[in-house]
């Protein structure tokens, strides 16, 4: 009997210790077992550009750490989540986006914990990427002394006809989410040419109610594979996916899976919220 009780006590101890090592990440975590409050610390998040746009942070405590990044994309606020791991106290946690596309996303948050039980909440740089209200609209002025003036939303140029995105913009006009994207340079290279300028040259097919035009885009392109959030989906599921996200554009994308590359139709997220600009 004593042996059974001893084994049960050992099992209970392992269970309690193991259970205490995991904590839900919040700004403040209540540990009801010990009647204490574990307060999350803040950690600064840095924005960087290395050919792609990205965010990074370092957790200097512990031997290893995990961070959970969440954010939203496009006018439909599609949710995304990425988990990063660092195996040393000096290894950085980083997430990247295509060059010039970071501003297509908003409502960034990141929470981290290390193997010592320390918890952290990320503080993002200005402009405040964690504040979705910072997104520009035609009814708000961002920079009063800008040399550019807003002409229209890109979506205002769309109708029931399927058009390439480049055909929606007139000579002398540019597209961007913000006016500073039109002139920014990095290492002497124009970021516009890797942002809105790049997008106008891509095979993005746009129209109102694009979800009902998928078959027509397939006929135009000869592409009959369809990509959802991550993997290939059926035609009907793809149409529902576009409809749920209020998509305006479909892109032709080279998708690699298991060493094989296929041309697929995918949600043209980068076009969402784009504004047409011209010089004052």
- From the list 37, 57, 39, 38, the residue with the least C-alpha distance to 47 is 57
Distance CA 73, CA 67 (A): 19
Q: Residue 154, SS3?
A: helix
Residues 82 and 121 in one domain: yes
Count Cβ atoms below 10 Å from residue 88 Cβ, excluding itself: 10
Predicted confidence pLDDT, tens digits, the chain (280 residues):
444 444 444 444 444 344 443 333 334 334 444 444 456 788 989 887 766 678 989 898 878 899 989 888 766 677 888 889 998 888 889 998 876 677 778 889 999 988 888 889 998 886 645 443 334 334 434 444 578 899 999 999 999 999 999 999 999 999 988 777 787 665 666 778 878 888 999 999 999 999 999 999 999 999 999 998 878 999 999 999 999 888 999 999 988 877 888 999 999 988 888 899 998 8
Whether 50 is in a domain gets the answer: yes
Q: What is the pTM of this model?
A: 0.54
Q: Quote the number of domains for the chain.
A: 2
Residues 99 and 152 in one domain: no
Residues 262 and 203 in one domain: yes
Domain with 33, as residue range(s), is 25-132
Q: Could you say which of 108, 132, 156 is where a domain stops?
A: 132
Q: How would you write 158-209 as a 3-class SS string?
A: CCCCCEEHHHHCCCCCEEECCHHHHCCEECCEECHHHCHHHHCCCCEEECCC
């Amino acid at each position: 009997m004593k042996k059974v009780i001893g084994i049960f006590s050992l099992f209970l101890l392992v269970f309690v210790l193991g259970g205490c090592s995991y904590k839900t990440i919040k700004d403040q975590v209540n540990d009801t077992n010990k009647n204490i409050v574990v307060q999350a610390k803040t950690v600064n998040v840095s924005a960087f550009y290395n050919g792609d746009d990205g965010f990074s942070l370092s957790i200097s405590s512990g031997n290893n750490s995990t961070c959970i990044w969440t954010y939203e994309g496009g006018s439909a606020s599609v949710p995304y989540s990425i988990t990063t791991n660092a195996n040393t106290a000096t290894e950085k946690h980083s997430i990247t986006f295509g060059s010039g596309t970071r501003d297509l996303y908003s409502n960034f948050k990141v929470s981290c914990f290390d193997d010592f039980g320390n918890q952290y909440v990320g503080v993002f740089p200005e402009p405040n990427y964690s504040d979705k209200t910072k997104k520009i609209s035609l009814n708000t002025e961002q920079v009063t002394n800008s040399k550019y003036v807003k002409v229209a939303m890109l979506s205002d140029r769309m109708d029931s006809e399927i058009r390439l995105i480049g055909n929606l913009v007139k000579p002398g006009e540019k597209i961007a989410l913000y006016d500073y994207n039109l002139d920014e340079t990095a290492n002497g290279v124009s970021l516009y040419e890797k942002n809105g300028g790049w997008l106008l040259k891509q095979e993005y097919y746009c129209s109102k109610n694009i979800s009902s035009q998928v078959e027509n885009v397939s006929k135009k392109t000869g592409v009959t594979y369809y990509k959802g959030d991550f993997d290939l989906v059926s035609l009907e599921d793809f149409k529902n996916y576009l409809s749920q996200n209020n998509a305006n554009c479909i892109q032709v994308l080279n998708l690699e899976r298991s060493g094989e590359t296929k041309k697929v139709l995918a949600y043209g997220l980068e076009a969402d919220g784009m504004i047409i600009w011209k010089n004052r």
